[in-house]
Structure 1
Amino acid sequence: MDRPLNGSANGGDTTQETGQGISWSLPVLGNARRTSIEDHHGVVRHRSRSVSRLQRTSLAGPLPAKLGFPDEREKLAQDEGNEAQKLGSFSGVFVPTTLNVLSILMFLRFGFLLGQSGVLGMMAMLIISYAIDLITAMSISAIATNGTVRGGGAYYLISRSLGTEFGGSIGIVFYLGCVLNTGMNAVGLVDCFKQNFGVVSGSKSHFLYEGFWWEYLWASIILLLCTAICLAGSSVFSRASNGLLIVLLISTFSIPLSACIKQPFKNERLGIEFTGFSSVSFFDNLYPRLTKGAAGSQIKRRENFQDLFGILFPATSGIFAGTSMSGDLKNPSRSIPKGTLYGLALTFSTYTIVILTLAASVTRESLYRDVNIIQDTNMSGFLIVLGEFSTSFFSSLMGIIGAAKVLQAISRDALLPGLSIFAKGTKKNDDPITSILITLAIAQITIFFDINQIASFVSMAYLMTFLVTNLACFLLKIGSAPNFRPSFHYFNSTTAFIGTIISGASMFFTDGVYATGCVCVLVTLFLLIHYMAPPKTWGDVSQSLIYHQVRKYLLRLRPEHVKFWRPQILLFVNNFESQYKMIHFCNSLKKGALFVLGRVLVTDDFATAVPVVRKEQTAWNKFIEFSKVKAFINITAAPNIEWGVRNVVLSAGLGGMRPNVVVIDQFRKDNSDASLEPGLPPIRPTRRMPSNLSDGEGDTLRKTRTDSFERDPPMNIQSYLTVLEDLLFQLRMNVAVARGFENIELPGTNDDSPAKFIDLWPIQMSAEISSDGGRKGTNYLTTNFDTYTLILQLGCILNTVPSWKRSCSLRVAVFVEYETDVEEERRRVMTLLEKLRISAEVLVFWLASGDLQTYRIIVNGDRNNVDKAMLDAVEQALEEEDWWNELGRYRTTSRSSRSQRQTPTGSGSTTPREGGRRRAGLEGLKRVIESSRRRSIGPGVSLGMQTHRLLDSMVEYNSDGNESSSEESDSYLSESENENEPEGDGPMAASDVPIINQPEETTGQTTAASTMATPSPRAMFMKKGRVASSAKFSSAPIPTTKVVSEEGTGPSIMFADSSPPRRGSGAAAGLESIHNCSSGTPGQPPVTSAEGDTESQPRASGYPSQAAVPLSFNDLPGRAQHLILNELIKSQSRDTAVVFTTLPTPVEGVSHDKASCEAYVGDLEVLCDGLPPCLLVHSNSVTVTMNL
């Protein structure tokens, strides 16, 4: 049976038996109230008011002592002991501040300063100096009372406020200032002893040896003595400081006491006259009287206030002495403000009393002649010597211990390499032994320098620290961070700002040369720390300021004007190993604009997705940081990829800063890998992760793909087309489809790479819009001007990036079909580039040159002089195309007919019956090709486009138009083909695309030219009364560029509106298109009109022979065009780093039919197969302008 826990009334152990034979002993301490008992992993914790003990026992007896828990009273006692050794406000801050501010300059230079500036001038300089000190002290107090202050003094306060670079650089400058001040005070103390006790110069005695090395020895002894006190610990330092303060105060207040009790006298040898308190002497010393060559002067010209202020200010600048002891204070946040302000009050009062006493008791001539006037007029010169010793010795003492603690704090923060050895401290009090020793060594070196030069640099170091401290307080205040709530309230942003300005002005007023040098040292250290220090988690005020300003200007940011358009890119990503190169490419392409990485996680369980989203967010942020990419990451979780993409596009950016170009990866049939899909196996990386990543960081980044989302199903082709349609038609974004970027050679990665060009292939796409209404027979040509110019714009932007500009040159490649159009096309393209201010090499190719085997096979029907591999590739790509099969059969029949006519028995003439059959066959072939192009619209495989601008006359609908019947008999088409032909596929029902003008206000976007085709093209045509042809690639020369003469809200540059060109152009017009052939016999000359004018013109070079079907590039369906363009680009862009070209867009609604989706993606595969990294671009907005 278990005994109750409180069952022992006599204070013995109460024991609870357990099944394992283990009992727990809980000693009851008298009447102490037990507050809690916790049982965790076999341990019961008993807490009382004053003590907490843990002891585990067993039935066999107590466990070995080494397994027991230490009595927490020991740790508590140790903490209390350490706390007892800490310093309070008086000994830790007030005493060091008072001793450091009451400088030896008071004894050695106040007489000289008073003689030159008078009471009014000296008090003015003193008030200005103390105003700087007071404002800085308020800033110090504000920062120190806003949180926990640890060791490091001013460095710690500044670094945790302004960040690593500012804190580290000013900390090192302040450290050097403290070390130099130590050496300067040691030398000053030796000079004081020499003047009083020197063998040659002594006024009191003659026992101290003089000479450079003797003085160096005495200064070294002083430094060693100070070092010994610092090594003894903070308690010894505190006691020594208290003693020195008492001596200094006695010495200082002996000055007014001497004026009261000492009799007036006059010393002819020293040239001084002591009058005691005298109004005559006071008024004689009231106003400034600047002279040249007075005792104590170190310049040969007349004194000025700039020189005098440079001497006085160092006597007031030691306000950081107490702050430097922050690591040894019991309560730094309370002690620093209190001790510093009280110290300033005492020293200001003391200085004022000394100045007024000296002015009222000594004549003006005495001040000019005797630099040691205070000691010579004092009732006891020995007291003044003790005062000089106490202040100089403490300044040296404070310089060593304060500087050592600053160096220890800097070393612990690992800002610069090689400083870790100075981060160590003693176990008992954390005294910086190694830092003290290195500080001593540096101080020993400073003794060799000129004391005046040391004093100037010390002043600059202190003023620079004042400036940065006030700046930190000012920025914290105006940053309005909610967590900046200092308990010290006697400051505001105005006082901190004034302190910053006055400190900076005082630096350059005192000594512009040394101020400039100090700033240069600070900037150098800033840059070193910026590039060498590892990232810190302190947080700094710059983030608050950036946030404040970004929010402010984002609210003011309006949608960008076309003059200032730049690509703000949203790149959908999946895995940073496989898409590392694409990310860096887009980073180069953004032109200093917004760059967002979009990531979609597909999941039905949002609760499970949240922690994974956060992990991915962290991983991608690390990748962005270490890869030096200037991007943001936007991750969303959605039930399917389509909604995920919509959410990312709609939510990316903020205010007027939103993406205007969306980049997605091309859908790949081989592994169904698209960058939109999160659950796909990554492509094998062709580039290693950034070299600046450590192994651990690289491993962390590689683990970003979590198990839960690797099980997501791969994205199907209809989802991909749905995403593409949403971007193009619903969200109206500029879209770029990337292909092959895992193989791109980024600049600088391979100097021997043959990729030396950025090739722009802005392929023209056109759609003819004809009307059967009021203006019968009138056709209009719409062009993809926005896409054309966006390709030029992106290529030009990429070429402005220095790394790309050094390694690649820009080329614009265009093509026409016939040689006669080459020079005209070159002229028009160069005119366009000139108006857009783009410098690039222009290349113009013509398809009928005979160099393109695919063109010869498809257009000319030439199968004899081509590679078998190329012929097989064309046949494989077009084997399922009805028009290609019918064209092959027609060509075969045509060749057989010509062979029969050319036999010896043949008459060589064509009978009416044969001519009729051939005419019917040609008409049937025309219907097959046109039907194939129309079917590409119906199911949604159109190479669609968005028109740039349509005139109102283009969209006037007339329901009275006539419709050509598509039900005529076709003697050439097979019965099965007639059955498969869609209803209403007549020649006039080629596109059924409604064209609607946008309002004039929407000048930033182009009008839609493609919508989803209806199942009944005939009905649609009858309703609209017009016909739109299939938008497709065109080999016609680009239209003339038109610049708007009057400045307005619309586009300033465009292609001139024009009627559609003849099917073909130049000399071959009228012959090269199957649609322009008459119904006469193929191969015979065209019919001549009654007036005798022939319809034919001289053939262009490369025009098909008369034995072939008269096709042109513009007549071909999309896949055939893609085959030809693929060979052209592949042959001309072998040495190209990246290719920009036009994206053939699908008709809206294509995603509803899987077969149509596969056909569209297959067409893109044909276009891009074997090409260099390729970016296919489509624009929905105007991106160029001619306006100033």
Structure 2
Amino acid sequence: MPQKKKFGTFAGVFTPSILTILGVIMYMRLGWVVGNAGLIGAIVIIVIAHVISVATGLSVSSVATDKKIGAGGIYYVLSRSMGIPIGGSIGIALFVGTAFSIALYLIGFAESFNAYLGFGTEINDLRLTGTIALLGLTVLALISTSVALKTQFIILAAILVSIVSIFFGSTEFAPTTINLIPSDNAVPLEVVFAVFFPAVTGFTAGIAMSGDLKDPKQSIPSGTLYAIGVGLVVYIILAVFMAFTINSEVLRTDYNILMKIALFAPAVVAGIWGATLSSAIGGILGGPRILQAMSIDKVTPTFFSKGKGANNEPVNALFLAFIIAECGILIGELGIIARVVSMFYLTAYGFINISFFLESWANPDFQPTFKVKRWVGLIGFIACFVVMFKLDMIAMLVALAVISAMYFGLQRKEVKLQSNDVWKSVWENVVNKGLKKIDAQVEENTNWNPNIILFSGESDHQAYLLELCKTVSGRTGIVTNFKLILDKNNSKPPLKKIDQIVRDEKFKELGIFARQIKVSNIYSGITSIASTFGFSGVEPNTIMMGWPKGLENSKEYSNMTQTLLHLDYNLLYLDFDRKTKFGNYNTVDFWWRETDSKNAEMMLNIARFIIASPKWNNTSVRVLFVNNNNVDVSVIQSKISKLVEDLRVLVAIKIINNAVEQKTFYKIIEEESKTTDLTIVGIPDYNIEKQAEFVLKTNKLFDAIGSTLLVKAAHNFNELDLDLGDTK
């Protein structure tokens, strides 16, 4: 079996990168950039473009030295750090951008080739020449990657000779005045930048060869950054030279001016042809390798993963790259192709930078040998999207929509790798910092943010208890449902942590966490969970369960209740009517009494959450108050109206005069709320010795009305002024 060939930093990274950087834009459009933007504008464009490329180069180099790098270049780096959905969506964007860039280079080649040899320069002539060149380079790539890479040394020498020939060339087109800023008839700077930007994207050509490098962790950072640095110096020097030696009008109109001023024109021709063709070779070699790596990971069809030879050359992927490149060639306009390529690369580079930033910030296992400050990635990310917005906001939105669609598509596909996903580290970091912030705050009487421990049991109506619990917890509340597995003899060991987690679709849909715990006694189990569950900053504050019919004489239940009251939990008990359920979700009654001052404030919070729920958003809310002391009804009405006005919904207030008849509170509820879909009543303070009496009396009420929620507020709720006994 033939030995697989590996390349070093110079041949494998620097050379393909620098040849792509010093390519078609430098020879065929840099003069046009200077002519339209002026010297200062051109330098600003060059610098901004290189801020993005330097930031991206630093980011990808740092990430590349943290993990083992395989074939696929930037795609491989992203998929192993950010996960398959992000890595795959950006990898696809990079592949398409790289394939289109092949067309960019070959149309540039065709412009120079046809003009120099006197062939036609119409769009169809350029398409024909570009297509012939694409066929020839594809055949070369199929023959041997090694041969293709070795030709680059000859081309690099030709580029150096051509640049020297340009600097020592004719000054017959010298301007009378130096054009420092754009003239009135110049192309807008946004368009100029979009055409120029592909010049700085060439560094990805070297990274794409990651699978063919001897030491990618050493070669990628050094080869990439040297190529970017050399390119920056050459572009600035050439821009200054052109501004001082060539008239701006000539620069704007003559794409072949460098051949005309050169000391030896054939040297420049050789440089242009060599640079454009070598850049195209870089795309032809790199693009298919990205697609092949994605196909190996099953992101794209596995058909494209197949290769040939000892180096597993990506033959099938190469044909798709050929088709996309040919589509670009058929466009035929270098400026249009350049703008398309710019959007693809800017989108990809933005996510590469944010990938590095998130890895550096959130992943405790991120230990690259090439250290870079994390703010570099953030600057690169911001710069990419600011530039995209300035270039073409609609194109930016389309690009983001396409990337998002691919991202969610890959998420649904659920392709997984045996590698870390930075998003887990990101969320852990966010949660960690958030908990510290919350824990550092002194607790005050603020709006109730529910953190509910739910004991829903297992029954036919469990779903309704889960639904109501999620409703009263509001949009930001937390609900954790506990399933208690009874083992009276304590004969089995406790469940392992991983086995305590319950993953069930019904909990997932409602956004409820679910756990299961083995207990020897239900009531002591509830007490134990209430005493120990939770962590700093997010301690549970509410217990919710079904109403315990038949336990009026249970000593264990009594002890549990005493403990929960002592722990100062809010208590919610639901008596669910199995016949009427929650009716049509149309009516809710809140019952207040003078002794319900804390319960009333809790009910106000529950009311806010209920009316915000989609199922209850058209409900009619009533607040009912029993007037036992013959107080002026208008006084009571006014006081309650002020308390409920923050609900921002129409609340009906009903005052029931009971000074004469002196009916029992529960009897009045039975009469008024017989057909109400959900009745909410406060639990009064009572001695635990009277538990049996309270439970029996409450059971009788529940037999007469529909679903009812009993509420007992903890001490952290404010006392509302409901004492109207002395009011005259």
> TM-score range, shorter-chain basis?
0.7 to 0.9
Counterpart position of 1:273: 172
Task: Tell me the distance in 2 between the aligned counterparts of 1:359 and 1:216.
Answer: 32
Q: Measure how far apart 1:664 and its partner are.
A: 1.5
Partners in 2 of 1:497 and 1:169 — Cα distance? 20
Separation of aligned partners in 2, 1:638 and 1:200: 87
Paired with 1:188 and 1:486, the residues of 2 have a C-alpha distance of: 39
Partner of 1:157: 77
Distance 1:800 1:109 in 2: 59
Q: What do residues 252-311 of structure 1 show as CA deviations (whole Å, max 9, x unaligned)? A: 324315766xxx76xxxxxx628xxxxxx8xx899544575xxxxxxx813676665554
Report deviation, 1:639.
4.9
1:45-92 per-residue CA deviation (whole Å, 9 max, x = no partner) reads: xxxxxxxxxxxxxxxxxxxxxxxxxxxxxxxxx6xx56x244443433
Query: Is the contact between residue 759 and residue 813 of structure 1 (CA under 8 Å) also seen in structure 2?
Result: no
Distance 1:413 1:431 in 2: 17
2:621 is aligned, of 804, 810, 816, to 810
Alignment of 1:93-492 (within 5 A): 93-113=13-33, 126-163=46-83, 166-200=86-120, 211-232=122-143, 236-257=144-165, 273=172, 288-290=179-181, 301-302=185-186, 309-348=193-232, 350-351=234-235, 371-378=255-262, 380-410=264-294, 419-420=300-301, 424-426=305-307, 429-449=311-331, 450-479=333-362, 481-489=363-371, 491-492=372-373
Aligned amino acid, residue 219 of structure 1 = G
1:888-967 correspondence to structure 2 within 5 Å: none
What's the CA shift for 1:668? 4.8
Question: 1:832: Cα distance to partner?
Answer: 0.9
Cα drift, residue 735 of structure 1: 0.5
Deviations 1:923-982 (A, max 9, x none): xxxxxxxxxxxxxxxxxxxxxxxxxxxxxxxxxxxxxxxxxxxxxxxxxxxxxxxxxxxx
Q: Is the 8 A contact 1:569 1:663 kept in 2?
A: yes
Q: Shift in Å at residue 189 of structure 1?
A: 2.0
Give the equivalent residue in structure 1 for 2:674.
Answer: 1131
Q: 1:666 aligns with which of 543, 547, 558?
A: 547
Match of 2:680 among 1129, 1140, 1145: 1140
Q: How far is the alpha carbon of 1:237 from its aligned partner?
A: 2.3
CA distance in 1, matches of 2:180, 2:674: 90
Aligned partner of residue 321 in structure 1, secondary structure: helix
How far apart, in 1, do the equivalents of 2:516 and 2:130 lie? Answer: 66
* Counterpart in the other structure of 2:726: none
CA change 1:513–1:397 in 2 (3 A) is same
- Count of paired positions: 711
Select which of 556, 571, 595 maps to 1:735. Answer: 571
Structure 1 counterpart SS, 2:584? coil
Residues 745 and 435 of structure 1, relative CA distance in 2, 3 Å threshold: farther
Distance 2:491 2:313 in 1: 51
- Per the alignment, residue 708 of structure 2 pairs with 1174
1:755 equivalenced with 2:584 (yes/no): yes
* Higher RCO (CA < 8 A, seq sep 6+): 2
**1:135 and 1:496 in contact (8 A); partners too:** yes
Task: Give the secondary-structure state (helix, strand or coil) at the position aligned to 2:403.
Answer: helix
Structure 2 Cα separation of the partners of residues 258 and 526 of structure 1: 46
- Structure 1 counterpart of 2:395: 517
**Aligned partner (choices 628, 637, 644) of residue 836 of structure 1:** 644
Letter in 1 for 2:131: S
Contact 1:562 1:1185 in 2 (8 A): no
Paired residue for 1:1113? Answer: 663
Cα deviation, residue 798, structure 1: 0.7
1:728-756 superposed Cα distances (whole Å, 9 cap, x missing partner): 2x11221011232777868xxxxxxx524
**Once the two structures are superposed, what CA deviation does each residue of 1:1119-1145 show, in whole Å capped at 9, x if it has no partner?**
xx76x5685367323xx2x33223466
Distance 2:707 2:159 in 1: 84
**Which residue does the alignment assign to 1:898?**
none
So what's the TM-score if we normalise by structure 2?
A: 0.83
Given the superposition, is the C-alpha separation of residues 660 and 213 from structure 1 closer, same or farther in structure 2, using an over 3 Å criterion? Answer: same
Work out whether 1:616 is the aligned partner of 2:500.
yes
Structure with more of its chain in helix, by fraction: 2
Q: Is the 8 A contact 1:94 1:339 kept in 2?
A: yes
Match of 1:554 in 2: 435
Deviation (angstroms), 1:483:
0.9
Contact 2:31–2:251 (8 Å) recurs in 1: yes
Counterpart of 1:762, as a letter, is W
SS class of match (2:621): strand
Q: CA deviation at 1:563?
A: 4.2
1:404, 1:439 within 8 Å by CA — same for their partners in 2?
yes
Cα–Cα, structure 1 residues 604 and 434, in superposed 2: closer, same or farther, change >3 Å? farther
Partners in 1 of 2:273 and 2:521 — Cα distance?
Answer: 82
Change (3 A) 1:647 1:503: same
How far does residue 789 in structure 1 lie from its aligned partner after superposition?
Answer: 4.1
TM-score (norm 1): 0.53
CA distance in 2, matches of 1:742, 1:613: 35
SS of the residue corresponding to residue 364 of structure 2 reads: coil
CA distance in 1, matches of 2:344, 2:694: 71
Match of residue 644 from structure 1: 525
Amino acid at match of 1:663: M
**Residues 763 and 577 of structure 1: CA distance in aligned 2, closer, same or farther (over 3 Å):** same
Decide whether the 8 Å contact of 1:114 with 1:355 is kept in 2: yes
- Code of the residue aligned with 1:109 in structure 2: it is R
SS of 2:70's equivalent in the other structure is: coil
C-alpha distance in 2, partners of 1:609/1:723?
24
Q: In the superposition, relative to structure 1, how do residues 663 and 741 fare at CA in structure 2: closer, same or farther (>3 Å)?
A: farther
Tell me the secondary structure at the aligned position of residue 681 of structure 2: strand
| Greater alpha carbon shift after TM alignment, 138-147 vs 532-541 | 532-541
The answer to whether 1:588 aligns with 2:471 is yes
State which of 655, 659, 667 in structure 2 corresponds to 1:1065: 659
Measure how far apart 1:1161 and its partner are: 4.6
Extract unaligned runs of 5+ from structure 2. Answer: 722-728
Contact 1:185 1:393 in 2 (8 A): yes
The offset of 1:799, in angstroms, is 1.2
Name stretches of at least 5 consecutive residues in structure 1 with no aligned partner.
1-77, 202-210, 266-271, 275-280, 293-299, 673-714, 747-753, 765-781, 847-1036, 1038-1063, 1069-1111, 1115-1120, 1151-1155
- The corresponding residue for 1:657 is 538
The CA distance in 2 between the partners of 1:252 and 1:605, in whole Å, is 86
Structure 1 CA distance for aligned equivalents of residues 493 and 680 of structure 2: 37
> 1:473: Cα distance to partner?
2.2
Q: What does residue 690 of structure 1 align with?
A: none
User: In the TM superposition, what is the alpha-carbon distance from 1:646 to its structure 2 partner?
Assistant: 3.1
Distance verdict in 2 for CA 1:114–1:630, change over 3 Å: same
Closer, same or farther: CA 629–331 of 1 in aligned 2, 3 Å: farther
Identify the residue that residue 511 of structure 2 maps to in structure 1.
630
AA of the residue aligned to 1:1132:
T
